Copies of this chain bind each other. A is one copy, B any other.
Amino acid sequence: MSDCTTKDILRQVKDGSLTIEDAMLQLKLEPFHDLGYAKVDHHRRLRQGVPEVIYGAGKTTEQMIGIVSDMKKAGQETILITRLSMEAAETINAVHPLCYNQAGRIAVIGDLPKPSGLGKIVIATGGTSDIPVAEEAAITAQALGNEVLRLYDVGVSGVHRLLSHMEYIMNASVIIAIAGMEGALASVVGGLADCPVIAVPTSVGYGASFHGLSALLSMLNSCASGISVVNIDNGFGAGYLASMINHMEAKA
């Protein structure tokens, strides 16, 4: 519980400027306001001018238009909508002009913030089929104020493709390694890089890929250090976490 706020309420009760009933109401709300405050504080730091995020899957176009209107009224400058179909994007665009990334099925309303992180986020994919997940991650990271470097189709079955971009790997602040099928990209990247690697298994593949299970298990078992894994096809989650890491700063 945030001491200063509580202290204020108590002071006001003591000096009579606040009735006991109103104080009770405020105190009842306090803990979660406090929690919220903390979050907001954090968010403010992380998000100066950056998007609020709407998860588009399962929402109607009308719902999304309404949410965007509310956010705009609340002063939100940049808004991100993920898992958005082309059709829905077109309908929303008529009301709230947006920029739509078809591959990643993700839209941005408003301007992208200027990159503000510690360094660049490199997004590498094993194949071209992994690009939709990669673009979801890339636009998310950009919308959260990061410079993004795309390194697509550098899968380990042709490891020289990856090696010929060693300078990108070595200079990255965070790397997002996205791959389906055998998912080995994460391990190879993890072994080369000196920064956190976020592995994203994709459902790309057939047969014994079992809709991403193969890549998921492979990535979890990586013997390289500094790797962690998010859900299958979760480009947004990887982009969000990468941005969080790329904006690390000293804490008291």
Contact = CB atoms under 8 A, between A and B. Distances in A.
Contacts of A232: 206-208, 220
A5 to B, nearest CB: 10
A225 interface: yes
B24 A6 contact: yes
A211 B211 CA distance: 12
A228 B226 contact: no
A7 interface: yes
A208 B231 contact: yes
Q: A10, A128, A173, A219: which has the most chain B beta carbons within 10 Å?
A: A10
Contacts of A198: 228
Interface string A1-21: 101001100110110100010
Interface in A204-252: 205-234, 237-238, 240-241, 244-246, 248-252
B212 A208 contact: yes
Interface string A176-198: 00001111101110111011101
A220 B227 contact: no
Nearest to A8: B20
Interface in A159-185: 159-160, 163-164, 166, 170-173, 180-184
B32 A163 contact: yes
Interface of A: 1, 3, 6-7, 10-11, 13-14, 16, 20, 23-24, 27-29, 31-32, 34-36, 38-39, 41-43, 45-46, 58, 118-120, 126-129, 155-160, 163-164, 166, 170-173, 180-184, 186-188, 190-192, 194-196, 198, 201, 203, 205-234, 237-238, 240-241, 244-246, 248-252
20 contacts: A3-B24, A3-B28, A38-B170, A38-B192, A118-B248, A156-B184, A171-B251, A171-B252, A172-B251, A181-B221, A207-B212, A208-B213, A210-B217, A215-B218, A218-B218, A220-B232, A225-B240, A228-B229, A245-B248, A248-B248
